[in-house]
């Protein structure tokens, strides 16, 4: 289908919050147009079922990720590769040239993760009182909780990237490093808030999943030109991403 036909098919010719973005991406990228053509049935279904603002924002980030990754000629995508025996699969299988394949799961750090304490923005950014022992900020803990909720979707025997959108992207690389270290320390002490809540059998089960996380790429949801990204590389990853893949990922998101 040509671009106009795709838009009509996807949105039934009706107004939709994602129409403008999809139109812009289809017009500016032949590779994204080919991707949408290949996956038009799946995308149309997602557009129809994403009715509330949160679901629409999730889908917008997911589709924009495809658009940006396809900026890189070295990257090609398979949308939601099926692994029936493992339940829900990551959002994308990404091929780097013909030499390396890895998985990408896309998510947003919402204002409050389901089941998590409802931290307010003023709590996240508040300056602690004098003589207060400084611990990991609530925002970092919520980020760690979100990571835990995604570990079960990573596939074994392959590299897995978690791409996270948040606004504003206030977490730095040291924040992520500290948060991931704290998460591992909580598991080492058998913290039930991690093991039981996310249904890990024990510490070994958690670390088996954690070692499947190769890296985290953190970006602003409203990505701007030349805006810096934060990439945390898991030093315990069983299947790390090659440096040239990390470079391609960063470059794909440099508008």
Does residue 160 have a pLDDT over 50?
yes
Question: Is 191 in a helix, a strand, or coil?
Answer: coil
Q: What angle do CA 12, 59, 50 make, to 5 degrees?
A: 55
**Domain range for residue 130?**
80-252
- Give 216's strand partners: 162, 232
Q: Which of 153, 220, 218 is nearest to 180 (CA)?
A: 218
**Mean per-residue pLDDT for 25-54?**
96
Check whether 153 has a pLDDT greater than 60: yes
Tens digit of pLDDT for each residue in 94-108? Answer: 999 988 999 999 999
What value does the mean pLDDT of the chain take? 87
Residue 72 belongs to a domain: no
Say if 158 falls within a structural domain. yes
Please tell me the predicted confidence (pLDDT) of residue 110: 74
Q: Among candidates 220, 221, 199, 204, which has minimal Cα distance to 153?
A: 199
116 in a structural domain: yes
Asked, for residue 98, whether it belongs to a domain, the answer is yes
Does 20 reside within a domain? Answer: no
**What's the CA gap between 177 and 166, in Å, rounded?**
17
CA distance 146 to 148: 5
Per-residue DSSP letter, 201: S
Q: Of how many residues is the chain composed?
A: 255
In a domain, 2, yes or no: no
Tell me the whole-structure pTM to 2 decimals. Answer: 0.87
Q: Is the pLDDT of residue 148 over 60?
A: yes
pLDDT greater than 70 at residue 191: yes
Task: State pLDDT tens for residues 194-230.
Answer: 999 999 999 999 999 999 999 999 999 988 887 889 9
Domains held by the chain: number: 1
To the nearest 5 percent, what fractions of the chain are helix, strand and coil? 45, 15, 40
Residue 80 near residue 69 (C-beta atoms within 8 A): no
């Amino acid at each position: 289908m040509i671009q106009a036909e795709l838009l009509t098919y996807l949105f039934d010719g009706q107004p939709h919050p994602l129409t403008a973005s999809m139109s812009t991406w289809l017009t500016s990228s032949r590779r994204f147009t080919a991707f949408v053509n290949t996956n038009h049935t799946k995308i149309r279904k997602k557009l129809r079922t994403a009715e509330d603002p949160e679901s629409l924002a999730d889908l917008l980030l997911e589709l924009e990720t495809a658009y940006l990754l396809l900026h890189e000629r070295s990257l090609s995508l398979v949308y939601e590769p099926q692994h029936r025996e493992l339940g829900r699969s990551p959002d994308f299988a990404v091929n780097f040239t013909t030499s390396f394949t890895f998985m990408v799961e896309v998510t947003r750090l919402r204002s409050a993760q389901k089941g998590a304490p409802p931290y307010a923005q003023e709590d996240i950014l508040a300056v602690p009182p004098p003589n207060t022992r400084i611990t990991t900020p609530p925002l970092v803990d919520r980020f760690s909780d979100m990571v835990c909720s995604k570990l079960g979707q990573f596939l074994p025997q392959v590299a897995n990237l978690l791409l996270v959108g948040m606004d504003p992207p206030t977490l730095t690389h040291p924040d992520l490093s500290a948060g991931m270290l704290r998460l591992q320390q909580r598991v080492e002490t058998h913290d039930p808030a991690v093991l039981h809540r996310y249904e890990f059998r024990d510490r070994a089960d958690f670390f088996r999943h954690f070692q499947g996380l190769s890296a985290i790429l953190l970006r602003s949801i409203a990505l701007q030109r030349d805006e810096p990204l934060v990439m945390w590389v898991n030093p315990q990853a069983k299947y790390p991403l090659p440096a040239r893949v990390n470079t391609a990922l960063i470059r794909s998101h440099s508008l």
